[in-house]
């Protein structure tokens, strides 16, 4: 169809519609008169449609590449320790305890944001330093983010107390759930063990706290304790010992409908690998598979989160101590399956360029 014929027909159409009433009719026309106007009268075999009349395939997303460690835009001084991630409305929010940034600043808990797990920006501090530093101290361990009871919640340890802070949004200001210091008192018979990273786990309609329960001066057993919500334990107390091997930096995940526990032996600093334990159900008992997930020779500080992308590939986010200058930085690696078990390629954090995760539409939350 020529442009002359098109605009003549359009003028007749506008005139006839205006003469039939006073309702305003708006047409979106190309701003540039030289832009070709689509012709709806094309033959079936000469148009842009596919064989079945579809409008054509959706363009494939751009595949980026990245290299570890990941940088935080405009915040190269940021130190990422024990990262924990949640996905909300197509964005990932990472929460991390801090041990002192190299520029001298130090939020108690930092919030970072990304759309692809590769490119991150610093959003804000999750907990007001000026408001809470004197109450809870300035050394936080094991920050874990999750959502429960319509609240975004973070668990962390400070001054040997388990605390919970909450917010209505993932990038809001987190306040103590009890308007005081946010302390969660454990049930009778339970006590925080050494390196007491604590997580909130859901499985169907069941909710649990993953706890390193003190069993000796330096020993701890792993327990799942049933909860009603993020701050309330079930009554009577229902608990499950999932391991008594004195394991450190535990991380539970459901990958391909299987239950995995990633952890290492306590007190083997530097060389002890992260081992793979499995169970037929969340509440255990977990047994060692004889397989390792990741070597710890580069001082890996816990496996923070697992995320599945649009290609059904799993990715692990974790922190690695780089050196005394950079301290802990954020690493991302694809989870591969060798002999049926998940692991990082070569069992070591990657330091060479690799393809980035692919995200096309809304995917599930990190596990």
In our burial notation (b when 16+ CB lie closer than 10 A, e otherwise), range 177-204 reads beeeebbbebbeebebbebbbbbbbeee
Report, in angstroms and rounded to the nearest whole number, the Rg of the chain calculated over CA atoms: 26
Comparing 10 with 67, the larger pLDDT belongs to 67
Q: How far apart are CA 346 and CA 337, in angstroms?
A: 11
Range with lowest mean pLDDT among 12-26, 94-108, 164-178, 304-318: 12-26
User: Mean of the pLDDT values across residues 314-326?
Assistant: 88
Question: How high is the pLDDT of residue 246?
Answer: 72
Which carries the bigger pLDDT value, residue 167 or residue 40? 167
> Rounded to an integer, what is the distance from CA 2 to the centroid of its chain?
53
Least confident of 138-142, 176-180, 288-292, 309-313: 138-142
End-to-end CA distance of the chain: 55
Confidence of residue 63 (pLDDT cuts 50, 70, 90): low
Q: Is the pLDDT of residue 22 over 80?
A: no
Instruction: Please tell me whether residue 350 adopts helix, strand or coil conformation.
Output: coil
- What confidence tens digit (pLDDT) does each residue in 201-252 have? 999 999 999 998 888 777 888 899 999 999 999 999 999 999 877 777 888 9
Highest mean pLDDT among 5-14, 264-273, 295-304, 325-334: 325-334
pLDDT at 123: 94
CA torsion sign for 311, 112, 319, 159 is negative
Task: Give the pLDDT score at 302.
Answer: 73
State the average pLDDT over residues 183-197: 88
Average pLDDT over residues 314-330: 88
How many Å apart are CA 299 and CA 270, to the nearest integer?
5
Asked if residue 12 has pLDDT above 80, the reply is no
Longest Cα–Cα distance of the chain, Å, equals: 90
Mean of the pLDDT values across residues 94-116?
Answer: 82
Residue range 240-298, pLDDT digits in tens: 999 877 777 888 998 888 899 998 876 555 567 889 999 999 998 899 999 999 987 66
Averaged over 150-175, what is the pLDDT? 95
- pLDDT for res 316: 95
Give the per-residue pLDDT at 103: 61
Give the pLDDT confidence score for residue 232 in this predicted structure.
96
Closest CA to 53 of 61, 62, 64, 42: 42
Query: Would you say residue 13 has pLDDT above 80?
Result: no
* pLDDT score of 18: 42
| Cα 194 to Cα 216: distance, rounded to the nearest angstrom | 9
Above 60 in pLDDT, residue 182?
Answer: yes
Round the average pLDDT of the chain to a whole number and report it.
Answer: 80
């Amino acid at each position: 169809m020529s442009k002359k014929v098109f605009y003549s027909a359009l003028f007749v159409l506008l005139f006839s519609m205006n003469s039939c009433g006073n309702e305003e009719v708006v047409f979106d026309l190309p701003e540039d008169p030289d832009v070709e106007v689509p012709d709806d009268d094309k033959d079936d075999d000469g148009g842009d449609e596919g064989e079945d009349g579809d409008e054509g395939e959706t363009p494939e997303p751009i595949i980026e590449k990245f290299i570890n460690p990941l940088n935080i835009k405009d915040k190269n001084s940021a130190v990422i320790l024990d990262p924990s991630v949640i996905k909300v409305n197509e964005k990932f929010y990472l929460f991390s305890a801090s041990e002192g940034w190299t520029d001298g600043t130090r939020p108690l808990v930092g919030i970072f944001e990304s759309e692809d797990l590769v490119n991150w920006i610093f959003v804000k501090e999750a907990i007001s330093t000026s408001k809470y530093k004197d109450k809870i101290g300035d050394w936080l361990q094991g920050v874990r983010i999750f959502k429960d009871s319509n609240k975004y919640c973070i668990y962390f340890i400070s001054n040997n107390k388990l605390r919970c802070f909450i917010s209505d949004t993932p990038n809001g200001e987190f306040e103590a759930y009890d308007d005081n210091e946010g302390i969660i008192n454990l049930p009778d018979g339970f006590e925080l063990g050494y390196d007491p990273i604590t997580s909130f786990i859901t499985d169907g309609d069941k909710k649990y706290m993953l706890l390193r329960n003190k069993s000796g001066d330096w020993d701890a057993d792993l327990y799942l304790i049933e909860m009603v919500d993020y701050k309330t334990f079930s009554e009577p107390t229902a608990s499950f010992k999932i391991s008594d091997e004195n394991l450190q930096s535990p991380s539970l995940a459901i990958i391909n409908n299987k239950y995995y526990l990633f952890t290492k032996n306590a007190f083997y600093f530097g060389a002890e690998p992260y081992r793979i334990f499995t169970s037929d159900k969340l509440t255990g008992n977990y047994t060692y598979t004889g397989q390792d997930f990741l070597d710890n020779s580069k001082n890996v500080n816990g496996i923070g989160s697992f995320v599945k992308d649009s290609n059904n590939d799993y990715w692990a986010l974790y922190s690695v101590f780089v050196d005394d200058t950079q301290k802990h930085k954020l690493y991302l690696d694809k989870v591969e399956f060798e002999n049926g078990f998940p692991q990082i390629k070569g069992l070591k954090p990657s330091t060479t360029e690799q393809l980035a995760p692919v995200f096309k539409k809304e995917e599930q939350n990190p596990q």
